[in-house]
Structure 1
Amino acid sequence: MRIDLHTHSTASDGTDTPAELVRNAAAAGLDVVALTDHDTTRGHDEARAALPAGLTLVTGAELSCRLDGVSMHLLAYLFDPTEPALLAERELVRDDRVPRAKAMIAKLNALGVPVTWEQVARIAGDGSVGRPHVASALVELGVVPTVSDAFTDQWLADGGRAYVEKHETDPFEAIRLVKGAGGVCVFAHPAAAKRGRTVPESAIAEMAAAGLDGIEVDHMDHDPDTRARLRGLAKDLGLLVTGSSDYHGSRKTVSLGAFTTDPEVYGEITRRATGAFPVPGTGGA
């Protein structure tokens, strides 16, 4: 059983539509895929409608959080998307994305980069605009060769020359909200140091005590030594260990199913969730 619990579609910053994503997941030999767009569940209905037979969809979202000045992400699975408190917080985060992107564009213009809001909006399409869309604009303009190359101090990394903060949820509040909506929380790529500063292990221990369910260990941004260290930490804290691709379509080089989650861990996630249930595919459209 092959299970990938972290993917993105055009509902946020991926390049596959939700329908394309589930079809591509089935073609990649996955049995279970989670759609975890940034701070939105907008792609879930389309994914459900197109879900191929033999593929199960886990609904979720990747929540933007910040702890002591460090940006971090929580993967929330199988929560009730209509629960008012969590919905209001997700909308607050999403509503800040457009002014933030425009502020980053202004900084880039001041640095001599002729990026425009119209260009970034075209790249984002119907998705929730974010840094990857600004990064793609820099690639189009020939400023950087790849999206990843835009996430440096020179450009869009945390604290970089064109970086602008956005509203991000305190992770302890996010855990409380997700739990209140019947969901399960996993800390996404907790040691991805190349993305910027990471939270200390002491903070992960505090989040575990507050109800964090697991940490994403097997991820492209964790080298083997880091994965081994995180596995030990998870064991010490009684946390679940997941593995995921963090697939973004053509915006990143990683493929669907590049990293996967153990079926027993997936089973425990589904047992803990009360807000929603995995959706089995029946043929799709």
Structure 2
Amino acid sequence: MLKKVDLHFHSNHSDGSLSVPEVLELVARSNVELAALTDHDTIKGVPEAFEVAKKLGLSLLSGVEISTMYEDGEVHILGYDFDVDDEEFNTFLNKRFESRANKVVKIVSKLNAMGYDITFDDVLSQSPGPFVGRVNVAKTLMEKGYIKHVKDAFTDKLIGDKGAAYVAPDGLSPKEAIEKIHNAGGIAVVAHPGLYRSPHKYGLKEEDILRMVEWGLDGVEAYHSKHTYSISKYYHKLAMIHGLLVTVGSDYHYGIYPIEFINVPREVVFELMKFFERRQGLQVSKKSR
């Protein structure tokens, strides 16, 4: 079978439904050779992930997905291959994770004002781990009978990106996230650029990518489970023109594992594997001096 790469998926340390061992076993069974667990604003699951990956014979990178705001829309920055023990980075992420809970408190307050009878404790009860986020709010609304499906919450009427009860992440910029990742020795990649939404645009444009390149951006997640073929090709071309790494991510949370359905050129998989092999080889060389 053809080897695959998946550098974007979640466990129940953030908003995934599976534990670290469960999600890594799923990834390994799907013939993925190079992987990264990228929970939202936390790396609490990464040490366990390394242990599990070793047993499974899976090559694993340290990973995280950091939420930022860019021109009135959310942009997520993926960090890879950083030092998990970096004290400054851990402190930064711990504060980011705490801010997520505060954001949900504000969402619940907005929903209450709109007539929805839910509490923050109700939302907490919908989380399988320490994380709490919009998906837990959606599950609470479903359990209370306000909606039929989780996706029904992510609308303009409720908690979608333009929703009446939406609360944006605090003012962290992509530039700051990229700097934090670099300071911890990692590389920074913009996640699912085709999914970007703001009042002004749909999808990140070339000028946006170039601005982030000025801030130190290293790569673009061109191949994502929710990108169409044409969107993937657009960002692949942009990345090639501007010398950026092209990455692949299923963004798996629950349900069917979508890596099987992402049409990724073989050269992208090979280049990713070679890139991180060279990078880690250099890191080992530096440490041995």
**Where is the helix percentage greater, Structure 1 or Structure 2?**
2
Question: CA–CA distance in 1 between the matches of 2:235 and 2:33?
Answer: 26
* 1:46 counterpart SS class: helix
Question: CA–CA distance in 2 between the matches of 1:275 and 1:91?
Answer: 29
Name the CA shift for 1:84/1:46 in 2 (closer, same or farther; >3 Å). Answer: closer
Which amino acid in 1 is paired with 2:216?
A: G
Name the CA shift for 1:172/1:76 in 2 (closer, same or farther; >3 Å). Answer: same
- Residues 78 and 274 of structure 1 are in contact (CA less than 8 Å); yes or no, is this contact kept in structure 2? no
Q: CA deviation at 1:254?
A: 4.5
- State which drifts further: 85-94 or 234-243: 85-94
Alignment of 1:169-208 (within 5 A): 169-193=172-196, 198-208=203-213
- Residues 139 and 147 of structure 1 are in contact (CA less than 8 Å); yes or no, is this contact kept in structure 2? yes
Deviations 1:59-98 (A, max 9, x none): 2100111122221101100111232333232222111111
Unaligned runs of 5+ in 2: 285-289
Question: CA–CA distance in 2 between the matches of 1:130 and 1:275?
Answer: 38
Question: CA–CA distance in 1 between the matches of 2:283 and 2:95?
Answer: 22
Q: CA deviation at 1:44?
A: 1.4
Number of aligned positions between the proteins: 275
Unaligned runs of 5+ in 1: 278-285
TM-score (normalised: structure 2): 0.86
Give the structure 1 partner of residue 278 of structure 2.
271
Alignment of 1:43-54 (within 5 A): 43-51=45-53, 52-54=55-57
Greater relative contact order, per chain length (Cα 8 Å cut-off, separation 6+): 1
Alignment of 1:124-139 (within 5 A): 124-139=127-142
Question: CA–CA distance in 2 between the matches of 1:115 and 1:29?
Answer: 42
Question: CA–CA distance in 2 between the matches of 1:236 and 1:40?
Answer: 32
Deviations 1:25-54 (A, max 9, x none): 122222222100001011112223333332
Alignment of 1:26-175 (within 5 A): 26-51=28-53, 52-175=55-178
Give the structure 1 partner of residue 249 of structure 2.
244
* 1:247 counterpart SS class: coil
- Residues 63 and 81 of structure 2 are in contact (CA less than 8 Å); yes or no, is this contact kept in structure 1? yes
Question: CA–CA distance in 2 between the matches of 1:176 and 1:69?
Answer: 20
1:223 is the counterpart of 2:225: no
- Residues 17 and 128 of structure 2 are in contact (CA less than 8 Å); yes or no, is this contact kept in structure 1? no
Question: CA–CA distance in 1 between the matches of 2:261 and 2:197?
Answer: 19
Question: CA–CA distance in 2 between the matches of 1:113 and 1:80?
Answer: 43
Which amino acid in 2 is paired with 1:240?
A: L
Question: CA–CA distance in 2 between the matches of 1:269 and 1:160?
Answer: 39
CA RMSD of aligned residues (A): 2.4
Question: CA–CA distance in 1 between the matches of 2:62 and 2:148?
Answer: 33
Question: CA–CA distance in 2 between the matches of 1:81 and 1:154?
Answer: 39
1:24 is the counterpart of 2:26: yes
Give the structure 1 partner of residue 12 of structure 2.
10
- Residues 79 and 274 of structure 1 are in contact (CA less than 8 Å); yes or no, is this contact kept in structure 2? no
* 1:87 counterpart SS class: helix
Question: CA–CA distance in 2 between the matches of 1:124 and 1:67?
Answer: 28
- Residues 74 and 171 of structure 1 are in contact (CA less than 8 Å); yes or no, is this contact kept in structure 2? yes
